[in-house]
Amino acid sequence: MARRRRQQLERVLGANALFATAYGNVGSSIYYALGLTASIALGLTPVVFIISGLIFAATAATYAEGTVRYPEAGGSSSFARHAFNELVSFGAAWAQMLNYVITVAISVIFVPHYLSIFWEPLRTNPWDIIVGIICTWLLVTLNIVGIREAASLNIFLAVLDFATQLLLVAIGFTLIFSPHTLTSNIHLGVAPSWSSFALAVPVAMIAYTGIETVSNLAEEARDPVRSIPRAISWVAVAVFAIYFTLPFIALSAMPVTKQGGKYITQLGEDPPKGFKNDPVLGLVENLGLHGHVLSAAKVYVGILAATILFIATNAGVIGASRITYSMASYRQLPENFRRLHPRLRTPWLSLVVFAGAAPTAFLLSGQVDFLGRMYAFGAMLSFTIAHVAVTALRYRKRDDELVFRAKPNVTIGGVSWPLFAILGGLGTGIAWLVVVIQDAPTRYAGLGWLVSGFAFYWLYRRRWVRAPLSETLRAPVVIGPGAALEYRNILVPIAPGYPSDEATDIACRLAAERGARVIAVTVVEVPLDLPLDAYLPEQVEEANRQLDEARAIGASYGLGVVGRLIRARSAGRAIVDEAERRGSEIVVMGAPRRHRGTRRAIFGETVDFVLKHAPTRVMVAAGAQAT
């Protein structure tokens, strides 16, 4: 084999990359959450965002622990599968699906709102609906064709977006911030009423659309033990910082006033008199800027917001297809949703149905308030299931060694109970009940979504799969022409002393021929006398070097190899568990290079263990004997 030049590659999907990707999605919500929440909470909008931020902090801790424990796409659905059964997992997944559908709808309908700086009718119906539907199907088409986002562009825009929001806060505190105005905005029990205040809290949670992003990217995180908790914590802190400050500035600029016997704020009023449809543009317009500076600022913010929201829409499109693929892999949806287009190699059916048709149906309502409350319905349910699942896992698997344990906790009866999950679950559960009880359209639409989903699940499981509703099943591996497997997920364990180059090369050839994904895995074996998250710089550095070598080989075939570092007590067991968790169709690994005359296991202990216990096919690339 020709010797390849080693390439120095970026440590992709570490904490920095995960943070930038997640913030690009979560941070986009400021462009609609501010107005939708202010329309209900009025002068208490800052307080509502603080309360929802505390609930989100608890939710972030739950997702950090659950995702590190089970680093796979699925989020709350995955947690529920391990804690309970497939029926509960389906409920979480179906609620997540609603989140993604609404994320697409609510993000894309605000794109024309911010582009209204160029043409005023885009702020209102029907033009925002028309442009939103066009943008949705454009993105669906691009994803079916297989055009990928530029990760570096997304990171740049996320940083630019965060910097812009901080700049608006700084300018606002300098020019218009008024504590007296903020206190005058508050009319306890009147504007808003206590029932409206309670409803505003779950609606404000739309400020945190996209927390599932980190969970869905967990499969591609280089070192999930360290990168995932850091990324989620950074996202929580950054978003909370914006929502803790920007509402104070916005309500200083557009205070609550009484008109016609009714308390209102321009921030939450419909156009043309208010800025509910483009609240950040309303903030810019009322910052005290004038002339060319104001015009330039409006154009800049309008274009940036539209771009960020367009990318957030695309993230929702991708998320919908990913959760669909995961659900079909576990026989929660028909196999057709899992199949790829024979030429384009993309999940075209899931994109058309759940990223195109479903969001379009919600877009036709043209009601941004309804979309916001529907997101709150799905998100609060999904988050509650996640909290309950992590709490149940702490109890049911109390003897498991956790590589990461979120805080705070309290030990009672020999169980380390997660206070963050318990309190977070109470918060999200109550918030979900508030939405269901108070808002009739959301109640009927949301419960209708759940009933239709469970009815289809029952019918599919009973009539087609003929399996119990609670049983976890993996979809069978597809057999293609010539009795060859249709490889979609190829696992390549790499380690010192093994011919990893040969194994990776073979895996990349298979992937290039069949449109599969290659996952390179290296295991850092942690001694029993050390915790699994122990600081092992030399071993981690060597593991990262091996993963970079694998990525370099993949690059020579035009493939993006996913690198994964796993901390475990046993390399063989870790490889088998990873293959089972990912549903890999084949494991390609090298046998150790043995010296002549030595007597060891046929292929080495690790390879022999994988051959014996792997739930899938194993291909061994034997290296040359050492002399």
Residue (of 500, 492, 484) closest to 519 by Cα position:
492
Cα separation of the two ends of the chain = 19
How far apart, in whole angstroms, are the C-alpha atoms of residue 478 and residue 266?
Answer: 57
- Convert the pLDDT of each residue in 33-79 to its tens digit: 999 999 999 999 999 999 998 998 899 899 889 988 887 777 899 99
Q: What's the pLDDT at 580?
A: 80
CB 406 within 8 A of CB 96: no
pLDDT > 60? residue 428: yes
Q: What's the pLDDT at 571?
A: 85
Residue (of 39, 399, 406) closest to 254 by Cα position:
39
Amino acid letter, residue 83:
A
Work out the average pLDDT over 351-364. 94
DSSP code string of 478-493: PB-GGG-B--SEEEEE
Q: What's the pLDDT at 3?
A: 39
Residue (of 94, 56, 57, 58) closest to 75 by Cα position:
94
The rounded mean pLDDT for the chain is: 84
Q: 401 or 460: which carries more pLDDT confidence?
A: 460
Confidence of residue 148 (pLDDT cuts 50, 70, 90): low
Confidence of residue 159 (pLDDT cuts 50, 70, 90): confident
CB 419 within 8 A of CB 406: no
Model pTM score? 0.82
Q: What's the pLDDT at 216?
A: 65
Name, in order, each residue with C-beta under 8 angstroms of 216's C-beta and a sequence gap of 6 or more.
73, 74, 75, 319, 322, 323
CB count within 10 Å of CB 174 equals: 10
Confidence of residue 11 (pLDDT cuts 50, 70, 90): very low
CB 182 within 8 A of CB 43: yes
Find where tokens 């309950």 sit: 388
Pairing of strands 586-591, 489-493: parallel
pLDDT > 90? residue 302: yes
Q: What's the pLDDT at 381?
A: 95
Work out the average pLDDT over 335-343. 79
CB 461 within 8 A of CB 471: no
Residue (of 590, 621, 574) closest to 494 by Cα position:
590
Q: Which of 38-47, 239-248, 486-495, 520-529 has the highest mean pLDDT?
A: 38-47
Structure tokens at 594: 């043995």
Tell me which of 188-197, 362-371, 605-614 is least confident: 605-614
Bridge-partner residues for 493, per DSSP?
521
Q: What's the pLDDT at 214?
A: 64
pLDDT > 90? residue 87: yes
Strands (E), 330-475: 409-412, 415-418
Q: 341 or 7: which carries more pLDDT confidence?
A: 341
pLDDT > 50? residue 241: yes
442 three-class SS: helix
Domains and CATH numbers, the chain: 28-456 (1.20.1740.10), 481-622 (3.40.50.620)
CB 331 within 8 A of CB 461: yes
- Convert the pLDDT of each residue in 444-457 to its tens digit: 999 999 999 999 99
Q: What's the pLDDT at 480?
A: 41
Residue (of 514, 525, 505, 496) closest to 588 by Cα position:
505
- Convert the pLDDT of each residue in 456-483 to its tens digit: 999 999 988 989 999 988 776 544 433 3
Dihedrals phi, psi of 522, to nearest 5 degrees: -125, 140
Q: What's the pLDDT at 282?
A: 94
CB 231 within 8 A of CB 158: no
Q: What's the pLDDT at 396?
A: 93
Q: What's the pLDDT at 219?
A: 63
Q: With pLDDT > 90 as the criterion, what percentage of the chain qualifies?
A: 45
Tell me which of 198-202, 402-406, 594-598 is least confident: 594-598
